């Protein structure tokens, strides 16, 4: 079904009942076979089939969830699928949790979702339409589809949707500080305040979200959008907190080729400044290229960290051939992020502990 429930698979017809003398033998064979097959030991990379990019990972309603971009031509990017798992290994697809039929102002180029639960509802932030502006490098006066759009919000009562447009218009539909309004990432700090990080075209802004997510609150200096662009930044901002320190990750290079990679910096404040500390995820010609636009997962109640990202398989079949993968994210004794080792096997099963 479109936009709701889990993917349904046909149930095989029951086999005729075997003669009673053969039943014990057949039962033994079934038990032996099931013991040999068992559950997969690792997730494998990619973690699910299909061309998907810009993955957002989160723990919602007692399960792991990934919300990615459907990697295709802009005119084909009219929906979001989502994927859930209880153990990081076996994933269930939830098709079309949001599509443009439920967002009146969105036409195409649904990108880079970011998910947050608040007061029992689930808010999905996303970019749409690849908004351009007059005088910009990609402005086309004849292409009305890119003359409006930006960052929107959808809401649902369950992680798997269906999501519906929350505002009836973009939350943010203008360029501020030269940042294209794409690639939203919402961070909730320990005091409950929610910050929106976003930006393309080599500029990154942060803004304070109103508690009801209908707009923004001003900073103490009266401004609304504060630019925090670190050296090398292109797009794909992500923020997390560990040990009292804020880690800011972003993507560099070209998203459409193998140069894409991830860098990071740290600060004592969620708004920086963030000095570039180094590259943590990049191509490995023995595995894949174009690794970037990641999100980060910390297993609740632990110090176990994972990075979920997209990469380009080798051989690569074109600009949109990107797949979603997961590997461990590790730190040294001083808290610096160690370079990520991309793998084909992925990660071991990690069931969530019941509360």
Residues belonging to the active site: 54, 235
For 84-95, b/e burial (b = at least 16 CB within 10 A) is bbebbbebeebb
Tell which residue, 109, 125, 111, 106, has the closest CA to residue 53: 111
Q: SS3 for 276?
A: coil
Q: In what order do the strands lie in the sheet with 150-156?
A: 111-118, 121-128, 150-156, 164-165
H or E segment at 23? Answer: helix 23-37
Neighbours of 162 (CB within 10 A): 19
- Give the H or E element holding residue 24: helix 23-37
| Residue 91 CB contacts under 8 Å (≥ 6 apart), including other chains | 47, 48, 66, 83, 84, 85
Percent helix / strand / coil, the chain, rounded to 5? 5, 40, 55
Q: Which residues pair with 200 in a beta bridge?
A: 180
322, 314 contact by CB (below 8 A): no
Distance separating alpha carbons of residues 271 and 219, to the nearest angstrom: 11
């Amino acid at each position: 079904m479109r936009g709701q429930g889990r993917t349904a698979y046909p149930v095989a017809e029951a086999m005729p009942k075997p003669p009673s003398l053969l039943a014990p033998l057949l039962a033994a064979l079934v038990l032996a076979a099931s013991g040999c097959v068992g559950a997969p030991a690792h997730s494998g990379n990619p973690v699910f089939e299909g061309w998907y990019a810009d993955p957002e990972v989160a723990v919602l309603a007692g399960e792991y969830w990934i919300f990615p971009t459907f990697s295709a031509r802009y005119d084909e990017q009219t929906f979001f699928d989502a994927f859930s798992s209880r153990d990081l290994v076996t994933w269930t697809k939830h098709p079309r949790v949001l599509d443009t039929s439920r967002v009146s102002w969105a036409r195409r180029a649904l990108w880079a979702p970011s998910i947050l639960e608040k007061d029992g509802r689930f808010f999905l932030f996303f970019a749409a339409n690849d908004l351009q502006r007059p005088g910009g490098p990609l402005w086309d006066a004849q292409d009305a589809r890119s003359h409006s759009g930006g960052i929107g919000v959808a809401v649902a009562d369950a992680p798997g949707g269906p999501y519906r447009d929350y505002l009836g218009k973009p939350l943010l539909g203008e360029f501020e500080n030269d940042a294209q309004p794409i690639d939203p990432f919402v961070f909730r700090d320990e005091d409950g305040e929610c910050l929106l990080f976003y930006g393309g075209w080599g500029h990154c802004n942060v803004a304070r979200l109103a508690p009801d997510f209908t707009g923004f609150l001003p900073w103490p200096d009266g401004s609304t959008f504060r630019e925090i662009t670190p050296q090398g930044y292109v797009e794909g901002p992500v923020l997390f907190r560990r040990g009292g320190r804020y880690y800011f990750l972003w993507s560099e290079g070209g998203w459409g080729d193998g140069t894409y990679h991830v860098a990071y910096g740290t600060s004592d404040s969620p708004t920086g400044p963030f000095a570039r500390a180094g590259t943590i995820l990049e191509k490995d010609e023995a595995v894949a290229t174009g690794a970037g636009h990641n999100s980060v997962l910390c297993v609740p109640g632990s110090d176990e960290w994972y990075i979920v990202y997209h990469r380009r398989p080798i051989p690569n079949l074109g600009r949109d051939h990107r797949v979603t993968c997961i590997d461990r994210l590790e730190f040294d004794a001083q808290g610096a992020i160690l370079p990520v080792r991309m793998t084909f096997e992925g990660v071991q099963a990690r069931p969530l502990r019941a509360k």
